[in-house]
Amino acid sequence: MFISETPFEEIEYLYYNVPIEEIIKKATQVCDKTYGNKVYLRGLIEFSNICFMDCKYCGIRRSNTKVERYRMSEVDILATIASGIEVGLKTFVLQSGENAYRALELASLVEKIKSKWSDIAVTLSCGYFKKEELKILKKAGVDRYLFRFEVADENLYSFLKNGEKLSKRLEMLNNLKELDFETGSGFMVGLPGETDEILLKNLRLCRDFQFDMVGIGPFIPHPDTPLKDARQFSIERTIKVTALLRLTLPYANIPATTAAGTLDPSGREKMLKAGANVLMPNITPPLNKKKYLLYPEKICIDESGLECIGCMSLRVKSVGKVLSFERGDSISYVK
C-alpha cells in the first residue's frame, strides 16, 4: 500500500495548532506502515577532524585551535570497517571535516573498501565537492552521500557559515540527485535565529528535494565557538520536528541522532517513537572519537561503538522496535 505525503499546508497546521502527542501518534502510524518496527544500523567512522570551514556552530571549525587534528590511515579505516563487519554491520558512513581529503584520495579509499567487501553500502559525509569530483566518487563505488543543508534560510545560513551561499549547498544536493547517489541531507533544530517560519522552511526544503535520508538533531552550543552563549532549546522541539518530518517524507530514512542522545539521555528513543528508523553506532576508535567533538559532552565516546550495538538493541526494544542488520536502502531511493 502506498503511503502518501501529508500535504504541506497540513504540516503547517499541525505545527501551529496540534499537541505534540497527536503529531507523534500520526507519525508512528506512518512509520509503522513504511518501515515497520525495523531500525537500521549504520557504522559511523569519523575518519578525520580536519576542516577548512569555520562554521560558527561547529566544535571542529578551523579556528578552534584547541582541537588536536587527526587523519586516520587507510589501514586503520579498513580495520575499523572489518571490525564492524564482524558484528554484522553492512553500511558504513565515513565522515570528516570539509576539504580534509581530495576526491581522488577518497575514490581510491572507497575502491579498496569495495574490492574487499562488494556487498556493503558506503556513505560519504565529507563536505562540498564539485560535480566532476562527485562523478569520480560515484564511479569509485560510493553509494550514498550525506550533506546537511543546515538551515534553509539564506541569511541565517550565510551568517553561520561566514558568507557562504546556501545556493552552493543546494546545487551540490541537486548534483548528488542527478548522479543517482542515495542522497541525504538535514538540518539542526534550534539554531540561534531560527524562527517558526525558518523551521517550517527546513521541512519544506526536505519535501521539495525528496531526500532519501534526513538527519536532524538539536543544535548544542560548543564552548569554544562564537555561539557558546546561545540558548539551548529542549529536546521536545527536535521530537516534534522528527514527527513532522516523518509525515512530510514517509519513505525517507531518518536517524535518531547522537546529538539528541546527548541533549537528553532518552533523546534517541524519543526520536524513534516519533518516526525515526535508523541508529548510527559510532565505531571510530575511541582515541580519535574524543577529538571529534562537534558539541560538548557527546555520548558514547569511551566505548568502541561495537559495544554500543548491544546497548542500542535494548534501547530499541524499550520502544517496541528491533535492530535490523540489513543494508537498509531508503525505500524512496529504491522506488
Residue type present at position 188 = M
Residues that bind ligand SAM (CB under 6 A): 51, 57-58, 60, 95, 97-98, 125-127, 147-148, 150, 188, 217, 219-220, 222, 259, 294-295
Task: Give every CB contact of residue 95 below 8 A, 6+ residues apart in sequence.
Answer: 44, 45, 46, 47, 124, 125, 126, 146
To ligand FES, the closest distance from the beta carbon of 55 in angstroms equals 3
Q: How far is CA 281 from CA 48, 87, 89, 159, 188, in A?
A: 17, 12, 10, 32, 20
Q: How many other C-beta atoms lie within 10 A of the C-beta of residue 112?
A: 16
190 vs 250, beta carbon nearer ligand FES: 190
221 vs 275, beta carbon nearer ligand SAM: 221
Residue type present at position 15 = Y
Q: Which does 319 bind (CB under 5 to 8 A by kind): ligand SAM, ligand FES, none?
A: none
Q: Which does 295 bind (CB under 5 to 8 A by kind): ligand SAM, ligand FES, none?
A: ligand SAM
Q: Which does 129 bind (CB under 5 to 8 A by kind): ligand FES, ligand SAM, none?
A: none
**C-beta nearest to ligand FES: residue:** 55
144 vs 321, beta carbon nearer ligand SAM: 144
Q: How far apart are CA 118 and CA 145, in angstroms?
A: 18
- Decide if residue 200 touches ligand FES (CB under 6 A): no
Grid coordinates belonging to 208:
521539495
Grid coordinates belonging to 232:
539551548
- Decide if residue 61 touches ligand FES (CB under 6 A): yes
SS3 188: strand
Q: Which does 191 bind (CB under 5 to 8 A by kind): ligand SAM, ligand FES, none?
A: none
Q: Which does 217 bind (CB under 5 to 8 A by kind): ligand SAM, ligand FES, none?
A: ligand SAM
Contact 92, 78 (CB under 8 A): no
Q: How far is CA 213 from CA 229, 246, 275, in A?
A: 31, 11, 13
Binding interface with ligand FES (CB under 6 A): 51, 53-55, 58, 60-61, 97-98, 127
